[in-house]
Structure formats: C-alpha cells, structure tokens
C-alpha cells in the first residue's frame, strides 16, 4: 500500500537521491489520507522545520506519477513501515560555492 503524507500541491519538481531540499510548507496537519490514518503516523524525530536544508535519501515513484521523499534523519512511520514525505512539500536548493545562504530553485 502506498501511503504518502501531506499532499499539498500539484506542482512538483523532479527529485533524486542526494538532492538538497527545503520544506516550502511545514503544516503537517493537512494529510492526503483520512484523519484516522493521520493519527497513526508517527514522527519520532520531529516534523519539518522552516529554513532547514534536508537531504533526500531516496525517492519512491508511484503508478500515478507522484514522488515520495525519504529524508535522511526525519523518518515518518505508519505502523512499522517507514513512509515517504510527499514531494510537493519540498523545493530543491541551489548552493553557490562558499556561500551559506540558500537560493530556492524556481
């Protein structure tokens, strides 16, 4: 069963393992699935944080063309299964050599 949490946008970038991303929407109270499933989702290391750069560990593609992102150090669980964050929550980050500031790719 494919469970993707927090679907928010129809506009998505194409992600790949190793990408650096930031969350563009950190409101985890909105979910794709019914509230009963939302209550069963566990985020043991916390939720998304604003202005934080995340590393994409792996990407899961589904038959309907959506992407789920597995974020290093920020797992989401449904029961005993690790589930993906929905890719529409994120945007890729461009790093300029020697800079600490991030520029969002548009």
Averaged pLDDT for residues 87-102: 68
Torsion, Cα 10 106 84 23, to 10 degrees, reads: -110
**For residue 85, what are the domain limits?**
4-104
99 to each of 7, 33, 91, 94, how far by Cα in Å?
32, 39, 19, 10
Q: Is the pLDDT of residue 72 over 80?
A: yes
Q: How would residue 104 be classed by pLDDT, with cut points 50, 70 and 90? A: very low
Encode pLDDT of 27-65 as tens digits. 777 665 555 566 778 889 988 898 889 999 999 986 667
Torsion, Cα 9 13 14 19, to 10 degrees, reads: -110
Q: For the whole model, what pTM was predicted?
A: 0.72
Q: 3-state DSSP call for residue 7?
A: coil
Query: Which pLDDT value is given to residue 40?
Result: 78
Q: Is the pLDDT of residue 9 over 60?
A: no
Residue 35 has φ and ψ, to the nearest 5°, of: -55, -35
Look at the chain and report how many structural domains it folds into. Answer: 1
Encode pLDDT of 16-31 as tens digits. 999 999 998 887 776 6
| E strand or H helix at 60 | strand 53-61
Encode pLDDT of 81-94 as tens digits. 898 888 888 899 87
């Amino acid at each position: 069963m494919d469970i993707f949490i927090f679907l928010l946008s129809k506009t998505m970038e194409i992600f790949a393992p190793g990408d650096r991303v930031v969350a563009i929407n950190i409101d985890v109270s909105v979910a794709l699935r019914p509230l009963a499933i939302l209550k069963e989702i566990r985020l043991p290391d916390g939720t998304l944080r604003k202005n934080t750069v995340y590393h994409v560990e792996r990407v899961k593609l589904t038959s309907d063309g959506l992407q789920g992102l597995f974020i290093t150090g920020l797992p989401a669980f449904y029961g005993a299964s690790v589930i993906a964050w929905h890719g529409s929550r994120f945007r890729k980050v461009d790093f300029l050599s020697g800079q600490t500031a991030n520029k969002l790719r548009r």
